[in-house]
Amino acid sequence: MTATQTTHHIQQTDPELKRYMRRIADSNRMHNVIVRGLFTGIFTAIGTTIGFALLIFLAAALVSNVKNVPILDSFLQQTKLDVLIEDQLSKIQKGSTGTTDTVVQEIYQDSTYGLIFTYPSTFTTVQQVSADSKGKIIQLIGNGPLHSLEIYVNKPAVMVGDSTQVQIKPENLEVTLDVNIYEQGAKVNDIEYQNAVFQTKFINGGNEYVLIGIAENNKPKLGREVYLGIVESLAFSK
Protein backbone atom coordinates (compact mmCIF):
# COMPACT_ATOMS: atom_id res chain seq x y z
CA MET A 1 0.00 0.00 0.00
CA THR A 2 1.46 3.41 -1.05
CA ALA A 3 1.64 6.47 1.15
CA THR A 4 -1.12 8.05 -0.90
CA GLN A 5 -3.42 5.03 -0.35
CA THR A 6 -2.69 5.02 3.39
CA THR A 7 -3.58 8.69 3.73
CA HIS A 8 -6.80 8.16 1.78
CA HIS A 9 -7.79 5.20 4.07
CA ILE A 10 -7.27 7.33 7.19
CA GLN A 11 -9.35 10.13 5.75
CA GLN A 12 -12.20 7.65 5.03
CA THR A 13 -12.02 6.11 8.51
CA ASP A 14 -11.63 9.28 10.54
CA PRO A 15 -15.27 10.53 10.15
CA GLU A 16 -16.56 7.08 11.07
CA LEU A 17 -14.47 7.01 14.23
CA LYS A 18 -15.74 10.45 15.12
CA ARG A 19 -19.35 9.27 14.81
CA TYR A 20 -18.65 6.39 17.20
CA MET A 21 -16.94 8.73 19.64
CA ARG A 22 -19.91 11.11 19.55
CA ARG A 23 -22.32 8.22 20.22
CA ILE A 24 -20.27 7.10 23.22
CA ALA A 25 -20.11 10.65 24.53
CA ASP A 26 -23.86 11.13 24.09
CA SER A 27 -24.66 7.85 25.83
CA ASN A 28 -22.60 8.91 28.83
CA ARG A 29 -24.26 12.28 29.24
CA MET A 30 -25.81 12.73 32.68
CA HIS A 31 -29.46 12.71 31.61
CA ASN A 32 -28.96 9.55 29.53
CA VAL A 33 -27.25 7.78 32.43
CA ILE A 34 -30.13 8.77 34.73
CA VAL A 35 -32.76 7.54 32.27
CA ARG A 36 -30.97 4.22 31.82
CA GLY A 37 -30.65 3.81 35.57
CA LEU A 38 -34.32 4.62 36.07
CA PHE A 39 -35.51 2.04 33.54
CA THR A 40 -33.05 -0.54 34.84
CA GLY A 41 -34.35 -0.02 38.38
CA ILE A 42 -37.99 -0.27 37.29
CA PHE A 43 -37.51 -3.51 35.39
CA THR A 44 -35.33 -4.97 38.14
CA ALA A 45 -38.06 -4.17 40.70
CA ILE A 46 -40.72 -5.71 38.46
CA GLY A 47 -38.65 -8.82 38.04
CA THR A 48 -38.01 -9.05 41.77
CA THR A 49 -41.71 -8.58 42.56
CA ILE A 50 -42.79 -11.23 40.08
CA GLY A 51 -40.12 -13.60 41.37
CA PHE A 52 -41.21 -13.00 44.97
CA ALA A 53 -44.86 -13.52 44.04
CA LEU A 54 -44.04 -16.79 42.28
CA LEU A 55 -42.05 -17.91 45.32
CA ILE A 56 -44.97 -17.13 47.64
CA PHE A 57 -47.45 -18.97 45.40
CA LEU A 58 -45.18 -22.02 45.29
CA ALA A 59 -44.69 -21.88 49.06
CA ALA A 60 -48.46 -21.61 49.58
CA ALA A 61 -49.00 -24.65 47.38
CA LEU A 62 -46.42 -26.52 49.47
CA VAL A 63 -48.07 -25.51 52.75
CA SER A 64 -51.49 -26.66 51.52
CA ASN A 65 -50.12 -30.11 50.74
CA VAL A 66 -48.12 -30.91 53.87
CA LYS A 67 -51.09 -32.21 55.87
CA ASN A 68 -50.04 -35.72 54.91
CA VAL A 69 -46.57 -35.09 56.33
CA PRO A 70 -47.11 -34.47 60.06
CA ILE A 71 -43.47 -33.56 60.76
CA LEU A 72 -43.45 -30.78 58.15
CA ASP A 73 -46.88 -29.58 59.18
CA SER A 74 -45.78 -29.37 62.82
CA PHE A 75 -42.57 -27.57 61.83
CA LEU A 76 -44.47 -24.95 59.82
CA GLN A 77 -46.90 -24.35 62.70
CA GLN A 78 -44.20 -24.04 65.35
CA THR A 79 -42.06 -21.67 63.30
CA LYS A 80 -45.15 -19.72 62.06
CA LEU A 81 -43.83 -19.96 58.49
CA ASP A 82 -47.27 -21.02 57.29
CA VAL A 83 -48.72 -17.83 58.80
CA LEU A 84 -46.06 -15.66 57.13
CA ILE A 85 -46.65 -17.30 53.74
CA GLU A 86 -50.43 -16.94 54.00
CA ASP A 87 -50.13 -13.30 55.07
CA GLN A 88 -47.83 -12.43 52.16
CA LEU A 89 -50.07 -14.29 49.72
CA SER A 90 -53.09 -12.35 50.98
CA LYS A 91 -51.25 -9.04 50.48
CA ILE A 92 -50.19 -9.99 46.95
CA GLN A 93 -53.72 -11.02 45.99
CA LYS A 94 -55.14 -7.75 47.35
CA GLY A 95 -52.38 -5.62 45.87
CA SER A 96 -51.44 -4.42 49.33
CA THR A 97 -48.67 -1.89 49.74
CA GLY A 98 -47.67 -3.54 52.99
CA THR A 99 -49.48 -1.05 55.23
CA THR A 100 -51.91 -2.51 57.74
CA ASP A 101 -54.51 -1.05 60.06
CA THR A 102 -53.63 -1.03 63.73
CA VAL A 103 -55.26 -3.90 65.58
CA VAL A 104 -56.06 -3.14 69.22
CA GLN A 105 -56.61 -5.85 71.82
CA GLU A 106 -59.92 -5.47 73.66
CA ILE A 107 -60.96 -7.15 76.92
CA TYR A 108 -64.24 -9.00 77.39
CA GLN A 109 -65.63 -10.08 80.76
CA ASP A 110 -68.81 -12.10 81.14
CA SER A 111 -70.92 -10.83 84.02
CA THR A 112 -72.55 -14.20 84.76
CA TYR A 113 -69.63 -16.63 84.72
CA GLY A 114 -66.71 -14.24 85.17
CA LEU A 115 -64.98 -15.48 82.02
CA ILE A 116 -62.35 -13.03 80.76
CA PHE A 117 -60.39 -12.99 77.51
CA THR A 118 -58.80 -10.55 75.09
CA TYR A 119 -59.79 -10.30 71.45
CA PRO A 120 -58.65 -8.19 68.47
CA SER A 121 -60.57 -5.06 67.45
CA THR A 122 -61.27 -6.70 64.08
CA PHE A 123 -64.36 -8.13 65.82
CA THR A 124 -66.93 -5.43 65.15
CA THR A 125 -69.88 -7.16 66.85
CA VAL A 126 -69.52 -8.48 70.39
CA GLN A 127 -72.70 -9.56 72.07
CA GLN A 128 -73.81 -11.58 75.06
CA VAL A 129 -76.47 -14.14 74.25
CA SER A 130 -78.96 -15.49 76.76
CA ALA A 131 -78.00 -19.03 77.65
CA ASP A 132 -80.80 -20.86 75.88
CA SER A 133 -81.18 -24.55 75.07
CA LYS A 134 -78.10 -24.29 72.83
CA GLY A 135 -76.05 -22.97 75.72
CA LYS A 136 -74.39 -20.16 73.76
CA ILE A 137 -73.52 -17.14 75.90
CA ILE A 138 -71.09 -15.05 73.84
CA GLN A 139 -70.80 -14.38 70.12
CA LEU A 140 -68.19 -12.27 68.33
CA ILE A 141 -68.33 -11.47 64.61
CA GLY A 142 -65.83 -9.45 62.61
CA ASN A 143 -63.90 -8.95 59.41
CA GLY A 144 -60.48 -10.19 60.47
CA PRO A 145 -58.77 -13.55 59.88
CA LEU A 146 -61.05 -15.07 62.53
CA HIS A 147 -64.56 -14.38 61.24
CA SER A 148 -66.48 -15.44 64.34
CA LEU A 149 -66.11 -16.84 67.83
CA GLU A 150 -68.85 -18.52 69.85
CA ILE A 151 -68.65 -19.66 73.45
CA TYR A 152 -71.01 -22.25 74.91
CA VAL A 153 -71.50 -23.21 78.56
CA ASN A 154 -72.63 -26.69 79.62
CA LYS A 155 -73.60 -27.56 76.06
CA PRO A 156 -70.93 -29.69 74.35
CA ALA A 157 -70.66 -29.06 70.63
CA VAL A 158 -70.85 -32.06 68.31
CA MET A 159 -67.87 -31.83 65.93
CA VAL A 160 -67.48 -33.91 62.77
CA GLY A 161 -64.44 -33.63 60.52
CA ASP A 162 -60.72 -34.33 60.15
CA SER A 163 -58.61 -32.43 62.64
CA THR A 164 -55.15 -31.92 64.03
CA GLN A 165 -54.44 -30.89 67.61
CA VAL A 166 -52.18 -28.46 69.44
CA GLN A 167 -51.90 -27.75 73.15
CA ILE A 168 -52.12 -24.32 74.73
CA LYS A 169 -51.35 -23.36 78.35
CA PRO A 170 -53.22 -20.15 79.23
CA GLU A 171 -51.18 -18.02 81.61
CA ASN A 172 -54.09 -17.53 84.01
CA LEU A 173 -55.47 -21.07 84.03
CA GLU A 174 -53.97 -24.09 85.74
CA VAL A 175 -54.78 -26.50 82.92
CA THR A 176 -53.33 -27.20 79.47
CA LEU A 177 -56.01 -27.05 76.78
CA ASP A 178 -56.32 -29.19 73.67
CA VAL A 179 -57.19 -27.15 70.59
CA ASN A 180 -58.70 -29.07 67.68
CA ILE A 181 -58.00 -27.58 64.24
CA TYR A 182 -60.35 -28.51 61.39
CA GLU A 183 -58.54 -26.75 58.57
CA GLN A 184 -60.67 -28.30 55.82
CA GLY A 185 -63.90 -27.35 57.56
CA ALA A 186 -66.21 -29.25 59.89
CA LYS A 187 -69.78 -29.94 60.83
CA VAL A 188 -70.72 -28.21 64.08
CA ASN A 189 -74.08 -29.05 65.64
CA ASP A 190 -75.55 -29.95 62.22
CA ILE A 191 -74.13 -26.79 60.57
CA GLU A 192 -71.62 -27.44 57.79
CA TYR A 193 -68.64 -25.06 57.57
CA GLN A 194 -66.30 -25.00 54.60
CA ASN A 195 -63.89 -22.59 56.31
CA ALA A 196 -61.35 -23.68 58.90
CA VAL A 197 -62.90 -24.38 62.32
CA PHE A 198 -61.17 -24.33 65.71
CA GLN A 199 -62.54 -25.87 68.92
CA THR A 200 -61.44 -26.30 72.50
CA LYS A 201 -63.20 -27.07 75.75
CA PHE A 202 -62.39 -26.97 79.45
CA ILE A 203 -64.05 -27.10 82.87
CA ASN A 204 -63.91 -24.34 85.46
CA GLY A 205 -66.02 -23.93 88.59
CA GLY A 206 -68.15 -26.93 87.67
CA ASN A 207 -69.07 -25.47 84.24
CA GLU A 208 -67.90 -26.79 80.90
CA TYR A 209 -66.90 -24.16 78.35
CA VAL A 210 -66.61 -24.75 74.62
CA LEU A 211 -64.98 -22.20 72.29
CA ILE A 212 -65.61 -22.49 68.55
CA GLY A 213 -63.90 -20.20 66.07
CA ILE A 214 -64.54 -19.90 62.32
CA ALA A 215 -61.73 -18.58 60.12
CA GLU A 216 -62.20 -16.16 57.26
CA ASN A 217 -62.18 -17.78 53.84
CA ASN A 218 -58.64 -18.50 52.59
CA LYS A 219 -57.09 -17.45 55.91
CA PRO A 220 -56.94 -20.66 57.97
CA LYS A 221 -53.41 -20.03 59.33
CA LEU A 222 -54.01 -16.42 60.33
CA GLY A 223 -57.40 -17.35 61.79
CA ARG A 224 -55.73 -20.12 63.77
CA GLU A 225 -53.25 -17.68 65.31
CA VAL A 226 -55.99 -15.25 66.33
CA TYR A 227 -57.97 -18.10 67.89
CA LEU A 228 -54.92 -19.43 69.77
CA GLY A 229 -54.23 -15.92 71.06
CA ILE A 230 -57.74 -15.74 72.51
CA VAL A 231 -57.37 -19.16 74.13
CA GLU A 232 -54.04 -18.13 75.66
CA SER A 233 -55.69 -15.10 77.26
CA LEU A 234 -58.50 -17.04 79.00
CA ALA A 235 -58.99 -16.20 82.67
CA PHE A 236 -61.69 -15.91 85.34
CA SER A 237 -62.40 -13.08 87.73
CA LYS A 238 -62.06 -13.98 91.36
Instruction: Please tell me the least confidently modeled range out of 128-132, 185-189, 224-228.
Output: 128-132
CB 182 within 8 A of CB 196: yes
The model's pLDDT over 158-174, given as tens digits with 9 standing for 90+, comes to 899 999 899 999 989 98
CB 201 within 8 A of CB 211: yes
Which pairing describes strands 115-120 and 186-188: parallel, antiparallel, or unpaired? unpaired
Higher pLDDT, 90 or 112: 112
pLDDT at 42: 47
How far, in Å, CA of 118 to CA of 105, rounded? 6
H/E run at residue 107 = strand 105-109
pLDDT at 168: 92
Q: What is the CATH number of domain 105-236?
A: 3.40.1000.10
Looking at the predicted structure, is the pLDDT value of residue 98 above 50? no
- Per-residue exposure over 177-215, b if at least 16 CB sit within 10 Å of its own CB, e if not: bebbbbbebbebeeeebebbbbbbbbebeeeebbbbbbb
DSSP secondary structure letter of residue 127: E
Q: Which residues contact 185 (CB under 8 A, 6 or more apart)?
A: 161, 192, 193, 194, 195, 196, 197
pLDDT at 176: 94
- Residue spans of the domains in the chain: they are 11-94, 105-236
Residue 140, Cβ neighbours under 10 Å: how many? Answer: 23
Supply the mean pLDDT for the chain: 74
Higher pLDDT, 90 or 224: 224
Higher pLDDT, 163 or 44: 163
The arithmetic mean of pLDDT across residues 62-70, rounded, is 53
* Confidence band for 227, pLDDT divided at 50, 70 and 90: very high
The model's pLDDT over 121-172, given as tens digits with 9 standing for 90+, comes to 999 998 877 655 557 788 999 988 999 999 999 887 889 999 989 999 998 9
Residue 123, Cβ neighbours under 10 Å: how many? Answer: 21
Q: What is the pTM of this model?
A: 0.63
pLDDT at 74: 61
CB 235 within 8 A of CB 116: yes
Taking alpha carbons only, the member of 108, 96, 192 closest to residue 142 is 108
Answer left, alpha or beta for residue 184, where phi above 0 means left and psi between -120 and 50 means alpha.
alpha
The arithmetic mean of pLDDT across residues 23-52, rounded, is 52
* Confidence band for 95, pLDDT divided at 50, 70 and 90: low
Looking at the predicted structure, is the pLDDT value of residue 235 above 80? yes
Answer left, alpha or beta for residue 189, where phi above 0 means left and psi between -120 and 50 means alpha.
left
* Confidence band for 221, pLDDT divided at 50, 70 and 90: confident
pLDDT at 18: 57
Helix (H, G, I), strand (E, B) or coil at 11: helix
CB 197 within 8 A of CB 182: yes
Looking at the predicted structure, is the pLDDT value of residue 177 above 60? yes
DSSP secondary structure letter of residue 104: P
Mind giving me the DSSP string for 145-180? SEEEEEEEES----EES--EEEEE--TTSSSPEEEE
* Confidence band for 183, pLDDT divided at 50, 70 and 90: confident
